[in-house]
Chains A and B, each alone.
Chain A
């Protein structure tokens, strides 16, 4: 019975794939004189009011790819955690406290690094940078604290919640566009004036979500790797 259902589902998928792809002639120029580059640049400036057109391509026109990238990162972080995370620690962690200078410097730099990361992903639609870059900067801030203090704790529960909420925000914004407009990630919010912080519709919200997600995931990865207990070799 199961096999029959699987076969029917596969047949449906195959039918639609063949149906779509048979309409496209191989190697045909589907833009008839118009350029994808010009279309993207024109649309990101006039229809979305985003001044950083890289962001509008990554998050809006190619937003589905970005969702895939975020999913890949999530899967990689989960796999690493499931391999390395051990609830019961055997042996001693090989970490030790850094010197006073490093600890004071880390304490001083921690908040500015987080602020820089947040700035990079909040202003992703105005200036270079975005969710991935900002999230990575935030993760390096946590890394600094993890290296300076051997007993610095990051709550896995909070990280999981942040990750899940950010991912849900991304996916539900995309689906809302699908319901209200025509396509996945179609913009449905007011676009504001160009070069304003509140412009670009859903793009800043998505990039903030991506920033939180990437930051939480990479922090979790680093925390798991750094706190891996060394087994006593017999």
Chain B
């Protein structure tokens, strides 16, 4: 295995880890940062796979703009997932 293959495998594992972290994290700000990490690694992948146009788009839109739109939304709503309400089936129950 050459160095490129090994680094691609490491980046893929990081990407999957960031995706799982984004799902299980209750603090939405951290979850958004994790999704932007996914986009960052994805843009590196695009560059390695010889699609620099797509890599530029992914870096600019996926990493910068989408993240900032989510951050603004979180600032205007709530940062943490609501712990006072629990969803069981179709009913939302107050704790």
Interface residues of A (CB under 8 A from B): 52, 54-55, 94, 120, 128-130, 132-133, 136-137, 139-140, 143, 218, 222, 225-226, 228, 230
Partner of A140 from the list B55, B57, B64, B72 (CB cut-off 8 Å) is B64
Partner of B69 from the list A130, A225, A230 (CB cut-off 8 Å) is A225
Partner of B64 from the list A52, A120, A143 (CB cut-off 8 Å) is A143
Is B53 located at the chain interface by the 8 A CB criterion? yes
- Least CB distance from A72 to B in Å reads 14
Interface of B is mostly: helix
Task: Determine the chain B residues whose CB is within 8 A of the CB of A222 once the complex forms.
Answer: 65, 68-69
Evaluate whether A133 and B72 lie within 8 angstroms (CB atoms) in the complex, with A128-B52, A139-B65 already known.
Answer: no
Interface residues of B (CB under 8 A from A): 52-53, 55-57, 60-61, 64-65, 68-69, 72, 75-76
Partner of B60 from the list A128, A136, A225 (CB cut-off 8 Å) is A136
Please name the residue on chain A nearest to B72 by beta carbon. A225
Partner of A226 from the list B52, B55, B64, B72 (CB cut-off 8 Å) is B72
- Whether B72 pairs with A132 at a CB distance below 8 angstroms is no
- Whether B57 pairs with A132 at a CB distance below 8 angstroms is yes
Partner of B65 from the list A52, A130, A136, A228 (CB cut-off 8 Å) is A136
| A–B Cβ pairs within 8 angstroms, 23 of them | A54-B53, A94-B75, A128-B55, A129-B52, A129-B53, A133-B53, A133-B56, A133-B60, A136-B61, A136-B64, A136-B65, A137-B60, A139-B65, A140-B60, A140-B64, A140-B65, A143-B65, A143-B68, A218-B65, A225-B69, A225-B72, A226-B72, A228-B76
Residue in A52, A120, A128, A132 with the greatest tally of chain B CB atoms within 10 Å: A128
- Whether A230 pairs with B76 at a CB distance below 8 angstroms is yes
Interface of A is mostly: helix
Task: Determine the chain A residues whose CB is within 8 A of the CB of B56 once the complex forms.
Answer: 120, 128-129, 133
Please name the residue on chain A nearest to B68 by beta carbon. A143
- Whether A133 pairs with B57 at a CB distance below 8 angstroms is yes
